[in-house]
Structure 1
Amino acid sequence: MAEIKEVRKVETGRASIHSHITGLGVDENGKAKFKADGLVGQLEAREAAWVVVQLIKQGKMAGKGILLVGPPGTGKTALAVGIAKELGEDTPFNTLNASEIYSVDLKKTEVLTQALRKSIGVRVRQRRMVYEGVVKDVKMRIARSRINPYVQIPREVELKLATKDEERTLTAGETIAEQISKMGIRKGDVIWIDAETGNVVKVGKAKDVEGAKTFDIDTARTVEIPSGPVKKEKELTNTFTLYDLDLTLAAQSISITALFSLWSEREVSQDIRKQVDAYVKDMINKGTAELIPGVLFIDDAHMLDIETFSFLTKALEAELAPILVLATNRGTTKIRGTDVEAPHGMPLDLLDRLLIITTRPYSKEESREIISIRAEELDIELEPAALDELTSMAAEESLRYSIQLLEPSQVIARKAGRGIVKAEDVKEASRLFSDLKRSVKYVKEYENLFLK
């Protein structure tokens, strides 16, 4: 059972880098808006991604994949997230960096097979006990990670949930707190929490909630405030991945000793996968479940080798295959494991199977909007001059560098006793943290002192 207790105290959390993205920001005619669904600019790329979504929904993407090509920091990952959101809120979205497949513990084919099965969902219908209502207040307690003391993570959350007939204050632990932080749940959102598993689902934005904070990027559908008690029995539709089911079945056939020796890091046998596939097909035939092809996003795809590309080419043709989205920022380079140079470091036979979408560097206006959105997500108040300074840095250095200065600038402003970030705070943060150009200049200046 998920641990949920009523009442206790806490403070504010931070949003994940793509928590604000709710879709591709395209209208019903397939035309991209300048700023919508948390995305800014990249109109052609977003319209191309919308076409891909229609192909997927019509079942016409079998044996194909998508390749996102563009310079660093041009929104390739954001586009992949947007595609997954357009396919449905519970569509599995699994991210893998190409270098992660080179594990000392697992074979490359096992890492890729697990990634593929994490990207295929099974939607199951069942009745469960839930907490449901509109969020009247949310407070987050942040603490240092037990694994990495330099990273802060949500440790506990206090929620005030209300329906038309009742109001309750709940506290929940780390699992639920992380989900609420990643989803960017705020006052005015209608949510429900599975009392047994702790799964959190964001239904939409409640109509006419007093004091609810609204952002330009909010595009969640408007829903009525639920009625009845906060805690109730509800018919739920849960989505599990094939990999989740693999681990569940594997856990039933191992010893307690193996369980505590991190068995999940080892290979899952093909026999277990066959049993899971047969079980899923049986549920689908009975009408209690349905299959959801999700998205497998592989970043830095040029880091994959020739054997991996061969495996992925075959995987595209499999009966149970997710939507494969690759991303790269390389031009012509060698295919790893060969001396052959090819576009984006990929074999031509794989490139022929991919729909290629290109992204371009952001304009100054687009960079300004993205910085503004990110500041809102992090609850950082910028004065106009500070936003201008960050926009100029984005144009002169990089957008990522500019966004990275947001939180250091806020710390500097608070040290000076201000709640609003000024241009002088941004300049001070830039002085303390070097950009790429200054770093290269520094290396050249002290080249003789560096070890070789």
Structure 2
Amino acid sequence: MAQITTTSELRDITKMERIGAHSHIRGLGLNDLLEPRSGPDSEGMIGQAKARKAAGLILKMVRERKIAGRAILMAGPPSSGKTAIAMGMAQTLGTDVPFTMISASEVFSLSMSKTEALTQAFRRSIGVRIKEETEIIEGEVVEIQIDRSLTGAQTTGRLTIKTQDMETVYDLGTKMIDALTKEKIIAGDVISIDRASGKINKLGRSYARSRDYDATGADTKFVQTPSGELQTRREVVHTVSLHEIDVINSRTQGFLALFAGDTGEIKPELRAQIDGKVGEWREEGKAEIVPGVLFIDEVHMLDIECFSFLNRALEQELSPLVIMASNRGMARIRGTTYKSPHGLPVDLLDRVLIITTAKYTDDDIEKIIQIRCAEEDTKLSDDALKILTTMASQTTLRYALNLISCAQVVALKRKSPAGLVDVDDLRRCYSFFLDEKRSVQWVGEGTAGLIGEDDGQDTRKDRMEE
């Protein structure tokens, strides 16, 4: 009789994340003097010192709000770190300054016009920091009493909360009881309650309950019980983008439209009214504008109409810093028969500051491969590291990085000790997958039987001759 065994697998959901192409980038890796750092302090960035310095200078001007309505072009060959620098800029800016990253092909959509898509991208990159005063109740929870009726239809309760100087009992309604239950508030927690919205924020556990540490989790945060009055007036700052304000005021479902994604086209008259209202808030001191950054990757894919719109949009009062990236040399401007550097019109090139990137050196490639191996939890032997570096210099860096995870699967399949990837694993993957140069060679040999553009014309010529 066969014995059937079942195994259960436990996974940590916090670690089930996809490793992206630039997930190792945590910043630009610059010190206070805008000099590139090396080693563990480089924040995942390798090489491109000149371009990183220029990007750091731009970021400093963005933070000091000395630059807006300008355009930056990052030009360089493929696999030279243009998108990585943009990701580093986004990580350095943090969440306080809006940073929007789009690809030029996203502009061409059937649901809205090209100019509307660019306008929405522009307004996503402009933040409005709104200041308002609100009453906050902050203190340590002493006791929560919840009284339920026999039918369960009505629920009332009382919340006893204290500071170091006073203690008060508040009557609770159904909504507040639900909010306390949702946040799992218990006696000994230090909380803050916004009286206007009823929002509850759990600040941590009181130091007086620190003796109960064994009964709490390891990540429990202990805070001091507040002193003074329970109710205080504080200035609360909210940062939203102009696009979010546009969507909330243009759709009947309001804030939920942002999650549905059905923004659609927004009327210019509504945007003009919102700009006027934001201008009034600025004069009254209730709000301030936070110009952010809009990054357009593969900008040469835009057409002449989009470039004409950019020329006008950069001159508007509310305009972010626009950073573009292109790997083209002399290329045809889409929508015209003219050729121009980087595929951009000359009048737009005259408005931009150009940052150039160069190909990575062998030492830089080796360091990048080591960082990616650590990110993908892959171990390479010394010989395999040298071979992969040589592959990257002879083919492309992206091709070599894509072989890392493939070679790891091959190494695990042959039951390599500790999953160590060796030279034979890389050679096997190299034989499985073609790089760009070998693919062109394979197609050029004509032995694959592939159909080309001239095949149909040759067939028609043969028929006409017959």
- The two structures have a TM-score, normalised by structure 2, of 0.66
8 Å CA contact 2:69–2:322 kept in 1: the answer is no
Is 1:16 aligned to residue 14 of structure 2?
A: no
| 1:84 to 1:408, Cα distance in 2 relative to 1, 3 A | same
- Cα displacement (A) at 1:284: 4.6
- Cα displacement (A) at 1:238: 5.2
Is 1:227 aligned to residue 222 of structure 2?
A: yes
Which residue does the alignment assign to 2:173? none
| Identical-residue share of aligned pairs (%) | 41
Structure 2 CA distance for aligned equivalents of residues 444 and 73 of structure 1: 25
Q: Secondary structure at the match of 2:54?
A: helix
Which residue does the alignment assign to 2:192? none
Structure 2 CA distance for aligned equivalents of residues 289 and 103 of structure 1: 34
In structure 2, what residue type is equivalent to 1:29? L
Structure 2 CA distance for aligned equivalents of residues 273 and 235 of structure 1: 27
* 1:18-417 equivalence runs, <5 A: 18-34=22-38, 36-124=42-130, 226-228=221-223, 239-252=239-252, 264-281=262-279, 283-284=281-282, 289-417=287-415
8 Å CA contact 2:366–2:385 kept in 1: the answer is yes
- Deviation readout 1:390-434 (Å, 9 max, x if unpaired): 211111111000111111112222222343323322222222111
- Cα displacement (A) at 1:323: 0.9
- Cα displacement (A) at 1:225: 9.3
Point out where structure 2 has 5 or more consecutive residues left out of the alignment. 1-9, 138-197, 200-218, 225-233, 453-466
8 Å CA contact 1:34–1:43 kept in 2: the answer is no
| 1:8 to 1:273, Cα distance in 2 relative to 1, 3 A | farther
Structure 2 CA distance for aligned equivalents of residues 377 and 263 of structure 1: 32
- Cα displacement (A) at 1:26: 1.9
Q: Secondary structure at the match of 2:223?
A: coil
8 Å CA contact 1:397–1:437 kept in 2: the answer is yes
Structure 2 CA distance for aligned equivalents of residues 110 and 322 of structure 1: 16
8 Å CA contact 1:84–1:294 kept in 2: the answer is no
Structure 2 CA distance for aligned equivalents of residues 403 and 50 of structure 1: 27
- Cα displacement (A) at 1:448: 6.8
Structure 2 CA distance for aligned equivalents of residues 22 and 123 of structure 1: 25
The number of residues matched between the two structures is 346
Structure 1 CA distance for aligned equivalents of residues 373 and 285 of structure 2: 45
Structure 1 CA distance for aligned equivalents of residues 400 and 250 of structure 2: 46
- The two structures have a TM-score, normalised by structure 1, of 0.68
In structure 2, what residue type is equivalent to 1:17? A
Once structures 1 and 2 are overlaid, which stretch shifts more, 113-122 or 286-295?
Answer: 286-295
Point out where structure 1 has 5 or more consecutive residues left out of the alignment. 1-6, 130-195, 198-223
| 1:304 to 1:88, Cα distance in 2 relative to 1, 3 A | same
8 Å CA contact 2:62–2:291 kept in 1: the answer is no
Structure 1 CA distance for aligned equivalents of residues 412 and 98 of structure 2: 39
Structure 2 CA distance for aligned equivalents of residues 100 and 351 of structure 1: 22
| 1:448 to 1:439, Cα distance in 2 relative to 1, 3 A | closer
Structure 2 CA distance for aligned equivalents of residues 236 and 427 of structure 1: 59
8 Å CA contact 1:33–1:43 kept in 2: the answer is no
Structure 2 CA distance for aligned equivalents of residues 287 and 226 of structure 1: 36
- Deviation readout 1:89-124 (Å, 9 max, x if unpaired): 432222222222222221110111011112122345
Structure 1 CA distance for aligned equivalents of residues 270 and 383 of structure 2: 60
In structure 1, what residue type is equivalent to 2:46? V
Q: Secondary structure at the match of 2:328?
A: coil
Q: CA RMSD in A?
A: 3.3
8 Å CA contact 1:85–1:91 kept in 2: the answer is no
